[in-house]
Amino acid sequence: MVRLAKPTRVVLVGDLFTKGPSPEGVWAQIRSGDYAAVMGNHDLRLVRSGSKDRAVRSCIERLDAAVGKWRKWTEKLPLFESAGPFTVVHAGLHPSGSLKQTSEKMAVSMRRYPGENSPFWWQNYTGKRRVIFGHDARRGLIRVERKRKPWLIGLDTGCVYGGQLSGYLVEEDRLLQVPARRVYQEPG
């Protein structure tokens, strides 16, 4: 997808290594493309390791065997990144759009604000900046527009579950999608 789009910059929305079949392949792609990224909840689990989860331990072992300093790079991932007129975050922002009011937990794992029975954070978003996010494959592609412009774009379209890999080309205001080759992980 990246080769076809030829963007000036790539910013990944997190959860980079633990879900697909080749964490070392993802790391090689990131290094060769000099990509930027934001911290996702699965990335946080990797770098804070000590996990008893066998899949996380396996992922760490495979990445450690690969060439490069994946751990140092991942530990330094920011919660937010700018991409043109957009703020990129893994999960969500405080509905006001304030980065200072957005906790780490909100940025990497929030779906609803303020709790599980509340509306989705993006339904109450009043911030001035446009936002690109991931983290919510269950809802699929989310696109909220203001004044005929994409305002909020949720790109998690469940590639690992057999859905699509989605990207947004800021320069052209264009959604790009590539179907998954297969189901790599069952949902849930």
What mean pLDDT value characterizes the chain? 93
Q: What is the C-alpha to C-alpha distance for residues 14 and 91, in angstroms, rounded to an integer?
A: 9
In the chain, where the domains are located: 2-175
Residue with tokens 């893994």: 90
Q: For 136-151, what is each residue's pLDDT tens digit? A: 999 999 999 998 889 9
First to last CA, the chain: 27
Assign 75 to helix, strand or coil.
Answer: helix
Note the helical H segments in 66-175: 70-75, 104-109
Q: How far apart are CA 120 and CA 45, in angstroms?
A: 24
What mean pLDDT is predicted for residues 81-100? 96
Pairwise CA distance, residues 132 & 150, whole Å: 10
Q: Which residues pair with 168 in a beta bridge?
A: 175
Q: Are 163 and 181 in contact (CB under 8 A)?
A: no
The H or E element containing residue 41 is helix 41-47
**CATH architecture observed for domain 2-175:** 4-Layer Sandwich (3.60)
Q: What percent of the chain has a predicted confidence (pLDDT) above 90?
A: 78
Per-residue pLDDT at 75 exceeds 90 = yes
Sorting pLDDT into bands at 50, 70 and 90, what band is 170? Answer: very high
Per the CB < 8 A criterion, the answer to whether 153 and 134 are in contact is no
pLDDT band at 50 (very low <50, low <70, confident <90, very high): low
User: Helix (H, G, I), strand (E, B), or coil: what is residue 123?
Assistant: helix
Q: Could you give the angle at the alpha carbon of 73 between the alpha carbons of 68 and 74, nearest 5°?
A: 115
DSSP 8-class letter at 14: S
- The residue among 144, 111, 142, 140 whose CA lies nearest residue 127 is 144
What percentage of the chain reaches a pLDDT higher than 70?
A: 99
Round to whole Å and give the CA distance between 167 and 170: 9
